[in-house]
Each structure stands twice: as C-alpha cells, then as structure tokens.
Amino acid sequence: MNQIWEKRRVKSTVLSWKNAFMAGLTGVRGAVTMAGVLSVPAFIDSGAPFPERSMMLFIAAMVIVISLLAAIVLLPLLAKSSKPKKKMTVPLDVAKHMSEPRAYTYVLQTAVGELEHELKASNASIVYDVLTAYYTKIRRIQMRSLQEENYKRFYEPN
C-alpha cells in the first residue's frame, strides 16, 4: 500500500518540446498507415476496382517517405545541440597501455560515478536499476579477466 502512495506522490518530469519532438521522430514509421491502406479491398462487391485505392496507396507511401526523410534530416540537427555536460578524458599514456576489458571497466566506472552524482529522489529507482546492471557488468569483466590471468599463469609456459 505504501508503494502505491509513493508512486502517486512522485511527480512526473516535464519533457521539453525538443525531447518530445525527437521522440516522435524516432517512432515507428508508417506501419499503421500502410496496414490501414492495405486493408482496403482491391475490389468492391460488384467486381469493379475500389475507387482511388491506388491514390490512397500513393499518398500513404509518400507520407511514410516524407516522415523518414524528415527524421533523417531533423534528428541530427536536434541531437547535435544536446551535448554532454563534460568530456571524459583519459591520459594518453594510460589509454595506450590499457587492455580492452580494463578500458570497458573504466568507462562503466565513469558512468557509475556520473549516475551517482545525478541521483535524486525522483529518479532513484531507475538510477539504482542501472547502477545494479553496471556493477554486474563490471564484476563479470573483472572475473573473466581474473580467470584469463590465472589460466595464463598456470597453463601457459613462460
């Protein structure tokens, strides 16, 4: 019962028009439109062709193509202005000698740090879910790396 009350107390975040527009542009393209047009029968009961069915197909296809082109052009323009707050930099000498698992772990640990920094009461549940997934990935990478090191140490000649 307490969980239901907590869900009601949490206020939803208001998205900006830009984010809403981007979400709309990334949606499914024309599946419902084309399904609706293709559900129109080709012939009517008298056996004559359905009037203007080809025009409906053409208009639906053009709407789908235009929406695809609009997404291709507008999404990069809208997404370009939403840059990350700060760049993640690794000293060159460290990056040069870093193995792939270590680099992946470094990226995940940096993401964990950012998520912990952005943690608020309104997003705590989601952030904790993502943090759990990241911690699990980090641990798996560390265990795999440890297994490979032990294998090399015991089974491969020096």
Q: What is the pLDDT of residue 15?
A: 67
Q: Which of 80, 105, 128 is the last residue of a domain?
A: 80
- On whether both 57 and 104 belong to a single domain, the answer is no
Task: Give pLDDT, residue 108.
Answer: 93
How far apart are alpha carbons 20 and 59 in whole angstroms? Answer: 26
Short-list 140, 49, 145, CA closest to 100: 145
Query: Residue with structure tokens 């695809």?
Result: 68
Can you point out the beta strands (E) in the chain? none
pLDDT at position 77 is: 82
Instruction: Give the chain's domain count.
Output: 2
Residue 87 lies in a domain: no
Domain membership flag for residue 8 = no
Which range marks the domain in which residue 46 is found? 14-80
Residue 69 falls inside a structural domain: yes
* 145 and 124 part of one domain: yes
How confident is the model at residue 91, as a pLDDT? 67
Residue 68 and residue 124 in one domain: no
Instruction: Provide the residue-wise pLDDT of the chain in tens; the chain has 158 residues.
Output: 555 555 555 555 666 777 777 777 777 778 888 899 999 999 999 999 999 999 999 999 999 998 888 888 888 887 776 556 666 666 666 667 778 888 889 889 999 999 999 888 888 889 999 999 999 999 999 999 888 888 878 887 66
Reported as type and span, the H/E element at residue 115 is helix 100-117
pLDDT for res 32:
86
Q: Which of 116, 118, 112, 61 is nearest to 85 (CA)?
A: 118
Q: Are residues 22 and 75 in the same domain?
A: yes
Query: What is the residue type of 91?
Result: P
For residue 18, tell me if it sits in a domain: yes
